[in-house]
Structure 1
Amino acid sequence: MILFTFNIVNIEADSKNGVQISDEERLKISENNTKAILRILDIHDVKASFFVEISIAEKLQNLIKAISSQGHEIAFYNKNSALHEIEETKKSVQDFLEKQIRGIRQKDHKLPHEDLKMLEFNYVSNIDNANILFPFKRLKRDTEITEEDGVSIVPESISPYSQLPYNDFVFQILPMKYYQNMVFETLKNDDFVLIYLNSWQFTDFSKYKFDIPFFRRLNSGKKMEDKLDALLTWINEKELATSRMKDYIF
């Protein structure tokens, strides 16, 4: 099973040459990038899970409704929000969606599983920092879903052959043919492959002058759209199964 997930997060990088890019502009960029992702998923009839960063969730009500109405899962991405902020946002989003939010994703700021269970989350999908040195840091990982304090723990996927994780950085830099082979070989060994990308990777950095490393500009914007389109085309041609996170886990 292939689990496609997308983190809806604003770009945090400073802008070049002292040009100010407001929070409203950053939010609009995230919204437009997410709409591009939705168009590609719709073309290939693939359903995914979208992890919306908690601090911007209530500002994106129309986008969240659109994502949900197209059959995708809404979950949360916790960057550094306090427990009470997560609780308030969860209640608000569930009220206007009239659906329960089951999943949460964390990276740097990780809350205890018992706190997440108290907020009625059913699963947590934690991720690590992805940078240019990651291949030297992570060579082995448990890839099975476990349970702790009543919460399902979904690990990042890692190729048993190349030892590369399926994070946003790997997707952005690897040639598509190599990535496809990695997915195919991993599915022979593991029950699922969890792929995650960030909405900011679909930004046109020739238009928006953010100060980001050169290796993060590679294959961004329209090239990311083309890579996602190519991967989904290949998945459908090979008749590989895809699923939303909550459907696969439960």
Structure 2
Amino acid sequence: MVLLSFDIEEFDMPFEYGGEISFEEQLEISRRGLIEILALLSKHNAKATFFSTVVFAENNKDLIVQLLEEGHELASHTWFHSKFSVEDLKKSREKLAEMFGTNVSGLRMPRMKKVDYKDVEAAGYTYNSSVNPTFLPGKYNNLGVSRTFFREGKLLQVPASVSPILRIPLFWLSFHNFPLVFYKFLSKAVLKKDNYLNIYFHPWEFAGIKDEKLKLPAFTTKNTGHEMVQRFDEYLGWLNKNGFRFGTFQEFERKANV
């Protein structure tokens, strides 16, 4: 099963690099990208899970309704993307469920921030996908975490996928910077070893973010915008051609509970 997921949020990444962007621009860029994503998923009949901040969802209710109507899953990316308190776990889950009348059972922390599983469980979630089980200089060292899904208490932990050998991450930056043929090779290796693939992206990757005022480093903007749309279109087509099935995290969770 291919677990495609998208963290839909305010595009605040420029602030990490001293760039400038208004709140309105943050939302507009992410909205544009989400429209592209939904069109690609529809084209390839691919289901996905969308981890949304409450802020983004409140400002893009029509797109959240659309993705739910098209059979995708809505999960929580907490309330804000740039700040967090433990109370946001429960508040965001309940707010998203209330706004859209859907079961919100999953969590992904912004920037894969570490969170205590007991707090996640207490907030009413049944699964969490907030860890990249690899070493990323300056970000995190999770080499001691299981490569594949595991349980902490009653909570199902679903780490992002990394290669069976060397734990090469298959997250969004890899998709932009690796040759696509190599990314496909890694994807196939993970699917063969683990029987599932958990990869995540963001709407702003599918929008134009090469504006100089954003001050984003080249490794974050490579193959974004139109290039990303083309690249992702080819990748989804390749997955379908090879007979790999797409599923939501809730579907995966049901299988894990059997």
Same-fold status (TM-score > 0.5): yes
Residue in structure 2 matched with residue 164 of structure 1 by the alignment: 168
Residues 1:38 and 2:38 are matched in the alignment? yes
Structural mapping, 1:180-191, within 5 Å: 180-191=184-195
Cα distance, 1:138 vs structure 2: 6.6
Structure 1 stretch 120-129 or stretch 98-107: which is displaced more? 120-129
Question: 1:132 and 1:115, CA in 2 relative to 1: closer, same or farther beyond 3 A?
Answer: closer
Structure 1 unmatched runs, 5+: none
Aligned-partner residue type, residue 90 of structure 2: E
Structure 1 stretch 100-109 or stretch 165-174: which is displaced more? 100-109
Question: 1:208 and 1:112, CA in 2 relative to 1: closer, same or farther beyond 3 A?
Answer: same
Question: 1:58 and 1:87, CA in 2 relative to 1: closer, same or farther beyond 3 A?
Answer: farther
Percent identical: 25
Partner SS for 2:199:
strand
TM-score, structure 2 length as denominator?
0.85
Residue in structure 2 matched with residue 97 of structure 1 by the alignment: 100
Residues 1:86 and 2:66 are matched in the alignment? no
Asked whether the equivalents of residues 3 and 48 of structure 1 are also in contact (C-alpha less than 8 Å), the reply is yes
Question: 1:119 and 1:152, CA in 2 relative to 1: closer, same or farther beyond 3 A?
Answer: same
Partner SS for 1:3:
strand
CA–CA distance in 1 between the matches of 2:146 and 2:133?
17
Asked whether the equivalents of residues 130 and 167 of structure 1 are also in contact (C-alpha less than 8 Å), the reply is no
Residues 1:212 and 2:216 are matched in the alignment? yes
Asked whether the equivalents of residues 6 and 196 of structure 1 are also in contact (C-alpha less than 8 Å), the reply is yes
Cα distance, 1:100 vs structure 2: 1.1
Asked whether the equivalents of residues 15 and 211 of structure 1 are also in contact (C-alpha less than 8 Å), the reply is no
Asked whether the equivalents of residues 113 and 130 of structure 2 are also in contact (C-alpha less than 8 Å), the reply is no
Structural mapping, 1:196-207, within 5 Å: 196-206=200-210
Residue in structure 2 matched with residue 51 of structure 1 by the alignment: 51
Asked whether the equivalents of residues 141 and 158 of structure 1 are also in contact (C-alpha less than 8 Å), the reply is no
CA–CA distance in 1 between the matches of 2:147 and 2:18?
43
Root-mean-square deviation (Å) = 2.8
Question: 1:216 and 1:103, CA in 2 relative to 1: closer, same or farther beyond 3 A?
Answer: same
Aligned-partner residue type, residue 214 of structure 2: F
Aligned-partner residue type, residue 188 of structure 1: K
Cα distance, 1:149 vs structure 2: 2.4
Q: Deviations over 1:179-235 (max 9, x none)?
A: 111111222211211111122222213468421001111111111111110110001
Partner SS for 1:243:
coil
Residue in structure 1 matched with residue 246 of structure 2 by the alignment: 242
Structural mapping, 1:132-147, within 5 Å: 133=137, 142-147=146-151
Structure 2 unmatched runs, 5+: none
Residue in structure 1 matched with residue 121 of structure 2 by the alignment: 117
CA–CA distance in 2 between the matches of 1:208 and 1:199?
19
Q: Deviations over 1:22-56 (max 9, x none)?
A: 20121111111111011001000000011112443
CA–CA distance in 2 between the matches of 1:160 and 1:37?
28
Partner SS for 1:82:
coil
Asked whether the equivalents of residues 132 and 142 of structure 2 are also in contact (C-alpha less than 8 Å), the reply is no
CA–CA distance in 1 between the matches of 2:123 and 2:60?
21
Partner SS for 1:242:
coil
